[in-house]
Amino acid sequence: MSVKNILRDKIDMNKKERLMAAIAGEKVDRVPVSAWRHQPVDDQNSDAFAAATLAFQRDFDFDFVKVTPASSYCLTVWGATSYWKGNPHGTRDYGKAVIQSPDDWSKLSVLDPHAGQMGEIIRGLELIGKGLGDSTPFIQTVFSPMTQARNLVGAEELLLHIRLHPEVIKEAFQVITDQTIRFVEAARETGISGIFYALQWASYLDLSESEYREFARPYDLQILQAVDDLWLNVLHLHGNHVMFSLIVDYPASVLNWHDRETGPSLSDGLKLWPNAVCGGIRQEETLVQGNPEDIRSEGLDAIKSTNGRRFVLGTGCVAPIVTPYGNLRALRDLVDLDQ
């Protein structure tokens, strides 16, 4: 099936116009497309990180750039350490947990968002913004307080602290939230069009609904409300068995999840989510292990299932650094197919 047969009334749009039309459910000249990846080692230095991010965008000319730092960037001000050990997803491994006992949560305080690795990312965003100019929107990855807390203490320990010391955890989550908002305020000055808000514990495998409502949702909403005036905020539900129904009222423009690996499907998601959805391509089985024909087949199926409306073609999560460039090229070229 032809992409252009779905979108018959073709008009030329720039990237911002195309994305804004998709978010609003209006006709687009073609389906928007984007993919993102980590830049390991380079992500520790602002100049190298910006150069690697810009080079990736020059290669593929995606409709927006999702700036993807190491998850530890927001935690080094509190003493977190991480190491590059060759993870195929491009992520870093954490060193010794910052939080060794429940009492340690009280040691967290709101600090200068230009300090530590956050400062490197802010300077990197400035360089990325200058490199892209006005032609390409770019958004900064922001991790939820729940995700940040997990990386400070460890997954099992966080659950124990939530259940045994709930008030201590709530106070700590508020500090993390306030720190995150300070960072976002600094990032806004670089010209970002929004944030990519990563929810990595909005899953029934990690928490109950009542726990998520009590320990995650209030802090998520504070951060999202702080950027509600930005036009390209992307919400990412990470993992399987996600709490889709709990976040469909979150204020964001685009919702991204592992739609090929966990429910709901893209078409069902569009019935629940009011704006645009992003996905369609399996992260591992298709993007990494497949070939360009697999990309085209799965991508065209995703476009058909959404009728090309309120849809951004991409993957359910980050493109692993072992992804063949030919597969990424097939993803980008798919939206320009004429047959």
Annotate 106-149 with DSSP letters as a single string. Answer: GG-----TTSHHHHHHHHHHHHHHHHHTTSS-EEEEEE-HHHHH
47's tokens? 């100049």
- Say how far apart CA 339 and CA 336 lie, in whole Å: 9
Model's pTM, two decimal places? 0.96
For residue 138, what pLDDT is reported? 98
Closest residue by Cα to residue 150 from 221, 189, 91, 94: 94
* Pairing of the two strands 93-94 and 82-83: antiparallel
The answer to whether the Cα torsion of 132, 237, 297, 291 is positive or negative is: positive
Res 10: pLDDT? 55
Spatial separation of the C-alpha atoms in residues 212 and 60, rounded to whole Å: 37
- Give residue-wise pLDDT tens across range 32-85: 999 999 999 999 999 999 999 999 999 999 999 999 999 999 999 999 999 999
Say if residue 86 is exposed, middle or buried (CB neighbours under 10 Å; 0-12, 13-18, 19+).
exposed
Share of the chain above pLDDT 90, in %: 96
Nearest 5 degrees, angle CA 152-CA 153-CA 155? Answer: 115
Q: Which domains does the chain have, with CATH numbers?
A: 3-334 (3.20.20.210)
Q: How far is CA 290 from CA 56, 122, 305, in A?
A: 20, 36, 21
